[in-house]
Structure 1
């Protein structure tokens, strides 16, 4: 498709394309024919949610399966029900699952694909900004438990991801803000020359990023593609999150804790925005960054119209307890923090520092 940007996620024989641009979803049938993982598929199970009015044509026999709205869909019971429905449909190991929706859909559809018949190919068509720049790329799938977010899941890379920027035009403003929190995160990870080179279908964009052009100068498909390239480069260096991939969780430790506490009516990206400001506060208290760098965090968040204030009624003891349940907390409470050499995962943070940062928020 003319004007579509292509970003490759380089994982050897499991590499796959991410196509970005207006109308990218209409490439689905050709992608299924051309991918070695889906070329022989006879059936497509399209997983989506009520109210997602995005037409897709896989070019083969298909059936649509709806999961519940919101985070309540991210439960093991939903995955069990989906797999039973796949069986009744006649989905085989050689067929394909297509996730059409936001991060909840791609997380659930991807996990169902990973465990059904011990692995069925999946293609994602993310319909939210958050889904396009983050959730649908990288192969992390999963569901929640009462004790925490994404505690049950699998790494299951898609055969392709189609980011149709056309569908973003109809998103409500708050849904866009939910993506802006993740977008702000990428400003602090940065686009390395290696990441820029993954944008193989738009030489001028790759050259601009390779030359250090900031993300703030980009819009639309170019901005989505740049974020995808940053994530693809990090994923390629650490697919199963044993080290560097943890950097993609910048801002997420407090963000996830606020979501788990569940009383604050926050979308994921809104919670991450608060978490970014908080992580900067923690880094400042530890002497890792100075006041100017904290102010830079606040400027980026302001530029996207993100409110990074702590919600009213927050229980500091509860939040710090939730920090200890975070997936990164292998060596004590662990945060991804900014510092003189960029972002890194810092284990064993003193709860007193974390409490002080909460009080300063």
Structure 2
């Protein structure tokens, strides 16, 4: 078992990585917890065999991005009331990124905030979604436009879940993991998977410690590849998992940075090499409408003023870049369309 700490002073919390760590849940429940509300989805199967040593209730949500809605959060909060959950009790999310996002947000608003522990069951959840306290749901206008920063009490990354993860979901997680290669320059692929997860958790934990609520731009670097990815997911119609969309977003961000003179052709080729190694997509779907994608990107949470905002590679490494010219954004999209 590997333990990584997210350092937030009195709100610091552990990330445990290893086989069987879900069985440590009871040890990490806050002392006053008398009831636990477990949020999960069909097909995950762990919710009924995790010992909490307190009263517990199980709350099912739908599958896919459609479940990340204010309606789902309202339903859960109503169920929490019926289950007798109080301010001293704890929500536990058991599932992938949709579950951990929804569980965290529901915990943040119920009684103005109760404890949450995350047990991610996908690679993507273990290296990103469950860590850092960014919770939220979608609106018709875009992904994650309503949410809160609400840190968990603990994150338990049980690698036993990955042994039965479908190949496409595993590949999706590798798309998110590829992001860390460009944030650090380290060859994470050389490490065993458990240590890759720990390395990614450590990188994210440091960014969260330095810039919990994305005020300074340090944490925004973690959104590398996500600007276009979220636009593709919001537009829909492309049958893309989140990590697949991120892979396309990484390839696009490299092309855009090259067109802006920030990186050279060799660095673009390095992006493509890392993504292709995991059989991840590197082209924008041919049916995508660049003008529609730009309209969605204008609503991106990173945007703070005129022009478009992206996280891009460059001479100083990956950083937040504002006021990117729209004509260059469109030209790069047209170049990368499959």
> CA offsets, 1:273-325, max 9 Å, x none?
00000000000000000011001101110122211111121111101111101
Counterpart of 1:203? none
Instruction: Say yes or no: does 1:26 pair with 2:23.
Output: yes
1:344 to 302, 319, 323: 319
Distance in 1 between the 2:159 and 2:283 partners? 30
Distance in 1 between the 2:116 and 2:302 partners? 27
Instruction: Give the alignment of 1:290-301 within 5 angstroms.
Output: 290-301=264-275
Distance in 1 between the 2:282 and 2:20 partners? 34
- 1:292 aligns to what SS in structure 2? helix
> CA offsets, 1:71-122, max 9 Å, x none?
1110001001100100000000001000000000000000000000011000
Instruction: Give the alignment of 1:22-61 within 5 angstroms.
Output: 22-32=19-29, 38-54=30-46, 55-61=49-55
1:241 to 209, 214, 224: 214
Counterpart of 2:200? 227
- Residue 214 (structure 1) shift: 2.6
Instruction: Give the alignment of 1:20-169 within 5 angstroms.
Output: 20-32=17-29, 38-54=30-46, 55-169=49-163
- Residue 148 (structure 1) shift: 0.5
- 2:37 aligns to what SS in structure 1? strand
- Report the RMSD for the aligned CA atoms in angstroms: 0.9
- 1:240 aligns to what SS in structure 2? coil
Instruction: Give the alignment of 1:176-191 within 5 angstroms.
Output: 176-190=170-184
- Residue 172 (structure 1) shift: 0.5
Instruction: Say yes or no: does 1:327 pair with 2:324.
Output: no
Distance in 2 between the 1:343 and 1:284 partners? 13
Distance in 1 between the 2:328 and 2:270 partners? 21
Distance in 2 between the 1:216 and 1:171 partners? 19
Distance in 1 between the 2:226 and 2:175 partners? 10
> CA offsets, 1:1-25, max 9 Å, x none?
xxx1000000000000000001110
Distance in 2 between the 1:110 and 1:28 partners? 16
Distance in 1 between the 2:196 and 2:281 partners? 22
Distance in 2 between the 1:218 and 1:226 partners? 9
Counterpart of 1:207? none
Distance in 2 between the 1:264 and 1:49 partners? 23
Counterpart of 2:280? 306
TM-score, normalised to structure 1, is 0.91
